[in-house]
A and B are shown apart, each in its own frame.
Chain A
């Protein structure tokens, strides 16, 4: 079992819709969770971090964390074509100070 799993997609949503990206992780002791966005040919950039159970909102982005279910998600409201990218879920496993384990990413396409 991979440590961090994501649906590879591709996920297509119409412009203005809500895009929902999901991620599960295997290390129950993980404490820090991150969503990175990566445009084709570019480096990953951090868009959200979450450390506590519940929701965290930042503009059109909402990260949701459920440690009991070992599940973290990213919702993108009012999706725009500029949101089309690969979204990487990253987890800081227990006992690995400052290292991150990444999922393989979900490719999102927002259709005009």
Chain B
């Protein structure tokens, strides 16, 4: 029972490099999310997708793009990484009554 799977788990990037975080869920959920978590800041929503084919900005979308490839997959792309994007990234999905299930997280360091 995989739930929400995200890759890679750890990544070090140089400033200006690009990368894509991959996320897939096997719970047939309509909604998917990308959050970032920084010390003392809690979880902040970057982008979300309420259903296949739709995406919307969250609280901190600048510097990121997303793609809802199909119902299962929701990717997050950093086009030109900056040190301020050093963070832990969590993909999540939900369906009934807002219960959100998280992936295991991706630790990203931008040097």
The answer to whether A and B interact is yes
Contact surface of A with B, Cβ cutoff 8 Å? 4, 8, 32, 34, 42-46, 49, 51, 88, 90, 92, 97-105
10 contacts between A and B (CB under 8 A): A43-B103, A49-B97, A97-B50, A98-B94, A98-B100, A99-B45, A102-B35, A102-B42, A104-B40, A104-B41
Interface membership of B74, Cβ < 8 A:
no
Q: Which residues 4-46 of B have a CB within 8 angstroms of A?
A: 31, 33, 35, 40-45
How far apart sit A97 and B44, CA to CA, in the bound complex (Å)? 16
Shortest beta-carbon distance from B52 to chain A in Å: 14
How far apart sit A40 and B4, CA to CA, in the bound complex (Å)? 19
CB neighbours (8 Å) of A88 from chain B are: 42-43
Q: Is the interface of B mostly helix, strand, loop or mixed?
A: strand
A32–B98 touching, CB < 8 Å: yes
Given A42-B104, A98-B31, A49 and B42 touching (CB < 8 A)?
no
Contact surface of B with A, Cβ cutoff 8 Å? 31, 33, 35, 40-45, 48, 50, 58, 90, 94, 97-105
How far apart sit A49 and B102, CA to CA, in the bound complex (Å)? 16
How far apart sit A99 and B92, CA to CA, in the bound complex (Å)? 11
Shortest beta-carbon distance from B68 to chain A in Å: 14
The interface centre, meaning the residue of B41, B42, B48, B101 with most chain A CB atoms within 10 A of its CB, is B42
Shortest beta-carbon distance from A22 to chain B in Å: 15
Contact residue among A43, A101, A103 (Cβ-Cβ distance under 8 Å from B102) = A43
Given A98-B50, A99-B58, A45 and B42 touching (CB < 8 A)?
no
